[in-house]
Structures are given as C-alpha cells and as structure tokens.
Chain A
Amino acid sequence: MIVERITPTLVWYYYICRREVWLMAHDISPQEDDNLIELGRTIHEHTYKDERKEIALDGMKLDMIKRSDGAYIVCEIKKSSKFEFSSRMQLAYSLYKLKEMGVDVKGELLIPREKKRIFVELDHELEEEIKRAIVEIKEIVSRELPPPPERNKFCGSCGYRHFCWA
C-alpha cells in the first residue's frame, strides 16, 4: 500500500500508537459506538460556532483559522489535554505543510472543556522531529502487517481496544 498523503490525524495517531497508524491508513476504522468518539464529535460541532472557519487544504482539514494582531493563527480543537503532546505534533505537522506551501503561520491548540489554549510555533527542532515522523509513518503504513499491539496508557479508552485484544 502506498500512502499518497499523510494526514495530520495520522500524525496524531503516530504519537499515540503505531499500530493505530497502520489500521487507520488501511481504513480499518475504530468502533464508532464508542461514547468518547461521540463526545469528541459533539464538542467539535458545538464549540466556537460563531468564529469557526473550517478550511480543507491539500488533504487536511484545519479546524479554525483566526486573525490576531494582523497575523493568521491556525487552531486545532480538542476534547481534553490528555493527548496534548500528540495534538501539538498534529498541529505542528499542519504548520509544516503550510510552510511547504509558502504560508508561515503559528498555531493554537484549543481545549474548550478545560478553557485552555496552547501556543504552538514551528521552530527548527519541531520541524526536524516532524520530518523524522513522516519518514517513519510512511515506513509503518507500507508494511504488510500492522505492528503488533502493545499496551500503553491510552489502550483503555481506544476504539480499537477490543479489536487488538480479541
């Protein structure tokens, strides 16, 4: 299987579980009757209703773009800060892709339920990490088999937990 495009969500999964990256890339989607997925969707639909501008660009969907002091800021909306690191990397990847297109912008992670905003700027270090992740994501997805399940702290709330451990 050839990945034509790495989506920001795939980057998000990469920092949580590599097996999930493979399954997602092969359209073996997680169980949707999972309440947490429903909750995430509801938050997505019902927050920032007035300021929301969604933009689809080159295989990625940016949750919201806002203007602050004359500069544009790309925002990513999340349910909780449990996955803060993954979410930052996801946003960093979007910023990286935008930079490739010649658009230099900063980002903000929004967690409405916790009233939190986390600022993300693509510095040299972050950019190198993203480049490294892209190479590895491509390698994982091109494998014949998914990486074997490994228990981590996210397994308990994952939509694949029963698939992995069936």
Chain B
Amino acid sequence: MKKTFYIFSNGELHRKENTLCFEGDKGRQYIPVESVSEFLIFGEVTMNKKLLEFLSQQEILLHFFNYYGYYIGTFYPREHYNSGLIILKQAEHYLDDTKRIELARKFVEGAVANMLRVLKYYAARGIDLAPYIEELESISGKLKENSTIEQLMALEGLAREAYYETFNLIIEDPEFRLDKREKRPPTTRLNSLISFGNSLLYVALLSEIYKTHLDPRIGFLHSTNSRRFTLNLDVAEIFKPIIVDRTLFSLLNKRMLDSSHFVKELNGVYLNEKGRAIFVNEFENKLASTIKHDKLKRNVSYRYLMRMELFKLEKHLIGEENYEPFLARW
C-alpha cells in the first residue's frame, strides 16, 4: 500500500539510483519509491530536475506548503489516465448551465447533509443543537428550489456559518473558541485548525483525482477561473464535515493539542511544526479508517471512499448513472 509522506524539516530530496533519499538535519533517510504515493512538503526542501523526472515517471505528486502551512501549489506530473470522452463530457457539463447546476447542487446537498450528520451525532450525546439542526434542515430544503450557482453558494455559506457556530458547543476546551470563521489569516487557533485541515483535504482529493480520468481544473460549484484546481474543492465540500471536522473534534476533545502547539505571527495564528505533526497524524488515521460500503459489501477507507466518489462522478458524466453524493450514516 502506497503512503503519503510528509516532510516538515529542511533538507534535500533527491533521486538515489532507483530510489529516493532525503538528507536533512537528522541525517540521511532512504524512502523506497514504490512505497510513496505523494509528498506533502512543509519544510525548506531543495530538489533538482532529475528528481522531478523520476517522480513524474513514478506518478508521484508533490504538494507544497509555505512557512505558515498555506498550500502553495502542486507538482502534478503529466496525466497517465487520459480519456478524451471524459474530458469532453466534463467540459460539456461545465458549459451547459442546467447540467452544471445539477452537479453543483449535489455537492452542496452532500455538504449540508453531512454537516447535519455531525450535528445529530453530538445532539444525541446531549448537546443542545436543536436550533442549528433546524436551520440547516431548512437550508437543505431550499436547495432544491434554487437555480443559480450564486444562490447555491450563498446557501452553502449560510449553512456553514450556522454550522461553525456549533463548534463552541461541541468543543469542550475553552482555549479553542471560534468567534468568527476567518481564513486570511486565521485569527484564532480553531480557525487555523480548520484552514489547515481543509488544505490537507484539498490535496488528498487532488491526489485521488490524479488517479482517475477527470481533469482537476474543471469544477462545477467552484468556477474555473484564476484558480488552478477546482474539482477537488467541489468534492471536498462533501467530506469536510466527516473527515476534517471530526479529526479536529477528536484532537481537541482528547486534549492532544494545546497552546504550546501554536505560534502567533503576522496578525495570524498558526500551528507550529510539532502541532502540524500531531494534526497530520490524526488526519491520516482518519483517512485510513474504514467503513462498510453498501454496494461493495466490504470495508473501504475514507481515502478510497473519495476515489469512489470520483468514479461516481465519471459515471454521471458519461450519462450512465446520476451522481448522488456520499452521505455519512452516523
């Protein structure tokens, strides 16, 4: 099974004969190339073209993050799965408004339904979330009637706003309050955790898209404009509540993170290296955890569930089966 490798320290990543080698402060570490599916690079890492050639040949992606943990870009090797039919269909579904909205609506529906699932879980454990659940349900009802991308985006924003308000009730640790969701820069610890978690989810999805015939540049809810990749943002909406948010609830309610894992810089609050390592570890555990899949009748990991979501999208695009978003059952 291929794994995601995270590099937090500084050093040099290079090709060593037919394998990979990272040389940093802690010495030389060999990384068998067959064991890697992607790298997430947070440290200051030097590399050369020979390495990029090798990674491209091995179909390995490199995701880069800056000093503050912001996503900056991906080395996305030349496509290995090409299907003219899928690309044409993807573009057709973007250009045809009716088709585009139909898909965009599914992403928002999935996102809101999974937010509700999270809230209902905590409501069942005795937290009073009734007014929020009611509000999300009312928004969910309105999704069917709305007919423009902007309206769908606005409803999604409203849902998320109400949903984030509940975080102060769900998270027991008073050190982690979320007064207002802020991204650029994140001003509170919880804001920075949400932003960091979402970035990890975006790149995980991008890596899964690479393994399908889909083009990551053509999204449906998010417009294809100055952003390089958008399809991963669309699909991420569905998985944020059940992957990112659940990861951070478990990190905080188990008190695995505290103030010592954060730094305050540039008017913002960020996770430090140690904090990131803890987060990433819990996030990877979440992606690797499995649930029973109805149709396959066997257990699949959350990471693989994301790939299957993309397969469903491909089937929708070729006109075989209408896309229905994954809905968590607990």
* A and B are partners in one complex rather than unrelated chains: yes
Is there an interface contact between B85 and A31, defined as CB atoms closer than 8 Å?
no
For the complex, give the distance between the alpha carbons of A68 and B328 in Å.
63
Is there an interface contact between A26 and B80, defined as CB atoms closer than 8 Å?
no
Select which of A26, A31, A145, A146 is within 8 A of B211 by beta carbon.
Answer: A31
**A45 contacts partner chain B, Cβ-Cβ < 8 Å:** no
For chain B, residues 78 to 112, give those with C-beta under 8 angstroms from any C-beta of chain A.
Answer: 80-86
For the complex, give the distance between the alpha carbons of A22 and B311 in Å.
16
Select which of A29, A144, A162 is within 8 A of B319 by beta carbon.
Answer: A144
- With contact pairs A28-B85, A28-B213, A146-B320 given, residues A162 and B80 touching in the complex (Cβ less than 8 Å): no
**B312 contacts partner chain A, Cβ-Cβ < 8 Å:** yes
**A32 contacts partner chain B, Cβ-Cβ < 8 Å:** yes
Nearest chain A CB to B48 CB, angstrom units:
26
Is there an interface contact between A166 and B320, defined as CB atoms closer than 8 Å?
no
Select which of A29, A145, A162 is within 8 A of B311 by beta carbon.
Answer: A162
**A33 contacts partner chain B, Cβ-Cβ < 8 Å:** yes
Is there an interface contact between B82 and A27, defined as CB atoms closer than 8 Å?
yes
Is there an interface contact between B318 and A29, defined as CB atoms closer than 8 Å?
no
- With contact pairs A33-B2, A166-B315 given, residues A28 and B86 touching in the complex (Cβ less than 8 Å): yes
- With contact pairs A32-B80, A166-B311, A166-B315 given, residues A27 and B296 touching in the complex (Cβ less than 8 Å): no
> Of residues A1, A28, A32, which shows the largest number of chain B Cβ atoms within 10 Å of its Cβ?
A28
Nearest chain B CB to A4 CB, angstrom units:
14
Select which of A29, A33, A166 is within 8 A of B83 by beta carbon.
Answer: A29
Which residues of chain A come closer than 8 Å to B83, judged between CB atoms?
A: 26-29
Which residues of chain A come closer than 8 Å to B307, judged between CB atoms?
A: 162
For the complex, give the distance between the alpha carbons of A165 and B293 in Å.
10
For chain A, residues 21 to 49, give those with C-beta under 8 angstroms from any C-beta of chain B.
Answer: 26-29, 31-33
Is there an interface contact between A145 and B320, defined as CB atoms closer than 8 Å?
yes
- With contact pairs A31-B211, A166-B308 given, residues A145 and B296 touching in the complex (Cβ less than 8 Å): no
For the complex, give the distance between the alpha carbons of A29 and B312 in Å.
15
For the complex, give the distance between the alpha carbons of A144 and B211 in Å.
24
Q: Can you name the residue of chain B whose Cβ is closest to the Cβ of A1?
A: B85
Nearest chain B CB to A17 CB, angstrom units:
15
Select which of A31, A145, A162 is within 8 A of B318 by beta carbon.
Answer: A145
For the complex, give the distance between the alpha carbons of A161 and B183 in Å.
40
Is there an interface contact between B295 and A29, defined as CB atoms closer than 8 Å?
no
For chain A, residues 57 to 94, give those with C-beta under 8 angstroms from any C-beta of chain B.
Answer: none
Is there an interface contact between A26 and B319, defined as CB atoms closer than 8 Å?
no
Query: What mask results when residues 82 to 126 of chain A are scored 1 for a CB within 8 Å of chain B, else 0?
Result: 000000000000000000000000000000000000000000000
Known pairs A32-B81, A166-B309 / 18 extra A-B pairs, C-beta < 8 Å: A1-B85, A26-B85, A26-B318, A27-B84, A28-B85, A28-B213, A29-B81, A32-B80, A33-B211, A145-B318, A145-B319, A145-B320, A146-B318, A146-B320, A162-B307, A166-B295, A166-B311, A166-B312
A contacts, CB < 8 Å to B: 1, 26-29, 31-33, 144-146, 162-163, 165-166
Closest 10 A-B residue pairs measured CB to CB?
A166-B311, A27-B83, A166-B308, A163-B311, A26-B85, A28-B83, A166-B312, A165-B295, A165-B296, A145-B320
Q: List 27 A-B contacts (CB under 8 A).
A: A1-B85, A26-B83, A26-B318, A27-B82, A27-B83, A27-B84, A28-B83, A28-B85, A28-B86, A28-B213, A28-B314, A28-B318, A29-B81, A31-B211, A144-B319, A145-B319, A145-B320, A146-B318, A146-B320, A162-B296, A162-B307, A162-B308, A163-B311, A163-B314, A165-B296, A166-B295, A166-B309
